[in-house]
Structure 1
């Protein structure tokens, strides 16, 4: 078998034996040194090609008979729902009943329990210790009140977003403004009751401030008001408590400027009355317990207040979370939408 080779300089052709493959020769015309290539294999229709084909088929059959181990993924695949932050697990959202049960049992979460105990300590300092610290105590009470007002709005907002944990204790909007907003919401809903009370006591400023701040017992109140007037006052006060959850929700989610859209609030209450009535009922119970705690603390001493602080805090957190859950689960029935 011969090997054909051409000079790359002058083009002269040569034929050499295949045994010379890999060696070098010199061109007789120009003197260029060339390396003899390996001979090209021509399979044709001979036995060599058939033998190679049979070997390939045998190797393929052997490869299929080998049992290969199947590797399982180390991490379970997650479903991607288009979030720009990356893959997320497809988790079914809780129903309103499930979220309500979790709210009632929120202290079973160690993180929530720790936050609850710290808030209890702050409220204990505000209502029990700091009142005996004169001017510094007053400043401390205002700071805690401002912080707690902000925290109350945060509880509503976080539960409205579907979060199960209580908010962090660090305030994000300061102390003073949230305190004014909290006081303003209660002032707005109870303004009709206060106007009626001022009218019945002939606008006696001193007596009115005493009733609103220090309070009076039922005997003094019966001397100031008739039975019908007391019934009207209680009705106006109850109406204010009933309307307060939707007002607080507006402030917590949409900002204080939304409190002037009373038309949208009334329409929302009408469209989701059953859910709202249930939510407002929690505030009624909390206000009722708070009123009688203040009354019995005045009658039987400070021990009642000490014992009731944890109870009132638990009831208030549950009521505030229910306001947020009301928006989270029924916002399609609202007359507005904030996202």
Structure 2
């Protein structure tokens, strides 16, 4: 994630800002330029200071304070590049559900920031009724014992609204023995399944992927039962980024995809702040890193890992000094780095080819 600057006064802006804290200008994200812009009223539209005064509309979800993005030129349905992929949203007349949906939208927009930066293909449901990417944000039915489950099915990603409850999310994290569970992590994991379909299965990379992650044709239902009955193998950290990744090659791919997004986006934020790790006691340089490059344009995964490991060692230590859990409580073994390298290759191939597909979708 980048830092941004207000075109009206030069103040620093953050991705979720709705207004500049110094000059009071309203600000919004302009996805095609990947930047935040100060905006000024222009009739029913807004004049964009970052784009030579061109006028654009705010996303319709700005009405609910759930989006701070601008729509594309000529966009007919009034939704931005991120919100056009929404399917079902919660009951917005319910203050608790509205607040939860806003939290989901924060995570979803951060996800789309990364997908747009890599120019990954994004087909909405309106353009591809069978496999287009669409998000349903569902609340549990109070009259039913059945709970909404977060998951993916042929481009349909369901996110349980209950995950926005910090207490409930922590309970599930402990119940499942997870060291990390966040809304953004859910989005990144589930969209990994979607891009397995798009970039691997339909992109001619199936055999290459199987050579790295294993045979995805093995029965998923049986693998799920086995995982919850037996757990992960004792040596799982030698080959997998998480215990859940051991369940099935599909989950291994999605977990690795999510971690790749974690690494790249966090390193970009560190680079924007000019972070450097130089421990005084590190005579061999193993814990030293200067994060001065754009991780979205890294040529190889080694450049990312060589910066990531010292950075997370430092941040984990800082968190412990505050009595908090590690920022990144995972081990990147050589086998996991190899899997991250496969993901890196997939994303880089698309980015280099410039295959970006915007599509109008449902609100």
**Superposed pair shares fold, TM > 0.5:** no
TM interval, short-chain normalised: under 0.3
Give TM-score, length-normalised by structure 2. 0.25
**Highest Rg: 1 or 2?**
1
Which is richer in strand?
2
Greater share of residues in helix: 1
